Amino acid sequence: MANTFSQIYIHFVFAVQYRKALIDQSWELELYQYISGIIRNKGQKPMIVNGMPDHIHLLVGMKPDLASSDLVQEIKKSSNKWVNESRFCRSKFKWQDGFGAFSVSQSHVDRCYK
Q: State if pTM tops 0.95.
A: no
Question: Could you give the CA distance from residue 94 to residue 30 in angstroms, rounded to a whole number?
Answer: 16
SS3 40: helix
Contact residues for 23 (Cβ-Cβ < 8 A; gap 6+): 16, 31, 51, 52, 53, 54, 56
Q: What is the pLDDT of residues 46-68, one digit of tens each?
A: 999 999 999 999 999 999 999 99
- Calculated CA dihedral for residues 6, 61, 109, 107, nearest 10 degrees: 0
Would the pLDDT of 2 be above 70? no
Q: What is the pLDDT of residues 26-47, one digit of tens each?
A: 999 999 999 999 999 999 999 9
